[in-house]
Amino acid sequence: MSEHTLNVAGVTVDTRHWIGGERVASADTFVDVSPIDGSVLGEIARGTTAEASAAVAAARAAFPGWAATARAERARILHAVADAVEKRIEDLSIVETHDNGALLRSHRRGVMPRVAHNFRFFADWLVGLGHEDFDTRGHTNHVSWDPAGPCVLITPWNAPLMLATWKIAPALAAGNTVILKPAEWAPLTASLFADIAAEAGLPAGVLNVVQGYGAEAGNALVSHPDVRRISFTGSVPTAKTIAAAAAANLVPASFELGGKSPLLVFADADLDLAVDLAVEQYDNAGQVCLAATRILVEETIAQEFTRRFTEKASALRQGDPRDETTDIGPNIHTRQLEKIDGFVQRALTAGARVVIGGRRGEGQYYAPTLLTDVAQDSEIVQEEVFGPVLTLQTFTDEDEAVRLANDTRFGLAATVATGDRGRAARVTDRLVAGTVWVNCFFVRDLQAPFGGSRHSGVGREGGTWSFDFYCDLKNTVSAPKGWRDHG
């Protein structure tokens, strides 16, 4: 091991930035800690304005070549990246689990295969991308997608590589070059991925990774005048800071933010299914933006729902995320645990009642928690906790259910459990949310628009929406007259 590499359970990870196809160190570093046991994984390069500028310059230099690369060739390289990810699923899973504490089995079976799929999907979409020409008084209109230029991608720690590649893949497919700034609490898979992509044939400078803190490296990147797009996934306060930086340079920006999504359970629902959907909200120790953390249950079935929920949730196994039988792993950081517990303790002081949990566990674990007797305007109902904490409220009819569901500043997702198709149609029509699931949860097709309303985000990603965002659309109008035949 050199001074710039870590050994994470047998997998070597470089701790430096990846700029212009080369590893770059920084004068300073920051410490990366594993949430599993609080052990120090290593010291990571702490980027500043200098590294941010170098990365934007590298992305600028690589842009003309990548943008001019034929679509079929770009698609071939992105498929090669997907192949390479598939060969390293085990390594990527091990590193991610040690870095952010999410379940190893989820990484192996769901998350990392999805990383590869992100590249395949957008590579194929690129090949099929087209637009019918149309006619205006004999003139031909031809719409084309021109890549925008260097894109800055800023991502959170809860699903680090999956969320990063959900941006990297369409940005690169569209012909842009990118600079990724991963979250400082889980920076390792971004670095490992840079090596994997380079070995798969991605040209130097097309993908750059700058490590560091948001206020330093992140801020320097989003403020850089040569950046043409900013795509951010993270919290609302950070989004506001980035939006201001984007406004200063008039750069289009997309924001995927937090949520406080509802699960509406009607008396006509399949109750076991509804309970399963509710218990599923503890996935990733509750650190999921889409999580339906507000359970709204029709009063007549509330008691039975609570009984079955308690039975099922109490059987969840909390522990080491590397263990195949674990259902809930640790939370990311002691600071996050304190934040979660603060929310719960203030809710209890305000009169909430604990159904299950309501306390910290050993180490960096928080007991899966359900609180009831919570007021609609209370902090615990209105603010995103981002931990394994759910609230339960009751309603008496459809109108009240919809009113409670929509009474939030967020609008990321909503889940409805009902056996009545008419009700499903009526209720989903009235819900304010970027995604509504009916009798299911977390089914996400990359063709679908994904994003949030209100404070849950600005813009949509997925399929054509991603290409629209990462491209400057151009309409070329050609007159019927004026052509010379050079035949």
CA nearest neighbour of 455 among 261, 288, 274: 261
Q: Does 106 bind ligand NAD (CB under 6 A)?
A: no
**Is 219 an interacting residue with respect to ligand NAD (CB under 6 A)?**
yes
Q: Is 251 in the site for ligand NAD (CB under 6 A)?
A: no
**The only residue of 55, 172, 183, 271 in contact with ligand NAD, by rule CB under 6 A:** 183
CB 462 within 8 A of CB 447: yes
Would you count residue 187 as binding ligand NAD (CB under 6 A)?
Answer: no
Q: Which of 215, 425, 473, 479 binds ligand NAD (CB under 6 A)?
A: 215
Complete edge-to-edge strand list for the sheet that includes strand 139-147: 134-136, 139-147, 471-478
Within 8 A by CB and 6+ apart from 390, the residues are: 278, 281, 282, 286, 293, 294, 295, 369, 370, 371
Beta bridge partners of 56: none
Distance between CA 161 and CA 169 in Å, rounded? 11
> Exposure of 394 by Cβ count < 10 A (0-12 exposed, 13-18 middle, 19+ buried)?
buried
Catalytic residue among 289, 298, 384, 471: 289
Spot the catalytic one: 96, 256, 384, 461.
256
By CB under 6 A, residue 364 contacts ligand NAD: no
Report in angstroms the alpha-carbon separations of 416 from 250, 421, 434. 39, 11, 14
Region binding ligand NAD by CB under 6 A among candidate stretches 41-49, 87-95, 168-176, 231-239? 231-239
Per CB under 6 A, 156 contacts ligand NAD: yes
Q: Is 29 in the site for ligand NAD (CB under 6 A)?
A: no
Stretch that binds ligand NAD, among 43-51, 57-65, 238-246, 470-478 (CB under 6 A): 238-246
Interface with ligand NAD (CB under 6 A), residue from 218, 358, 411, 463: 218
289 counts as catalytic:
yes
Give the residue, chosen from 41, 123, 188, 257, that forms a contact with ligand NAD under the rule CB under 6 A. Answer: 257
Under the criterion CB under 6 A, does residue 469 sit at the interface with ligand NAD? no
Residue 128 burial (C-beta neighbours within 10 Å; 0-12, 13-18, 19+): exposed
Facing residues of 263 across strands? Answer: 295, 415
Candidate ranges 9-17, 27-35, 178-186, 246-254; the one touching ligand NAD (CB under 6 A): 178-186
Site size for ligand NAD (CB under 6 A): 31
Q: Residue 289, interface with ligand NAD (CB under 6 A)?
A: yes
Residue 155 lies near ligand NAD (rule: CB under 6 A): yes
User: Is 56 a binder of ligand NAD (CB under 6 A)?
Assistant: no
- CB-nearer residue toward ligand NAD: 452 or 463: 452
Q: Under a CB-based contact definition with an 8 Å cutoff, are residues 180 and 233 in contact?
A: no
| 208 phi, psi to nearest 5 deg | -125, 145
Residues 338 and 182: their CA atoms lie apart, in Å, by 23
Quote the tokens at residue 247: 């406004």
- Burial of 474 (C-beta count, 10 Å sphere; 0-12/13-18/19+): exposed
Of 195-203, 207-215, 397-405, 475-483, the window that binds ligand NAD (rule: CB under 6 A) is 207-215
Q: CB under 6 A: which stretch of 15-23, 251-259, 305-313, 391-399 binds ligand NAD?
A: 251-259
Tell which residue, 57, 358, 321, 341, has the closest CA to residue 186: 321
Q: Is 233 in the site for ligand NAD (CB under 6 A)?
A: yes
Q: Is 256 a catalytic residue?
A: yes
**DSSP secondary-structure letter at 408?**
S
User: Does 214 engage in binding with ligand NAD (CB under 6 A)?
Assistant: yes
User: Where in the sequence numbering do the catalytic residues fall?
Assistant: 256, 289
> Where on the chain is the footprint of ligand NAD (CB under 6 A)?
154-158, 163, 181, 183-184, 213-215, 218-219, 222, 233-235, 238, 241-242, 256-259, 289, 384, 386, 412, 452, 457
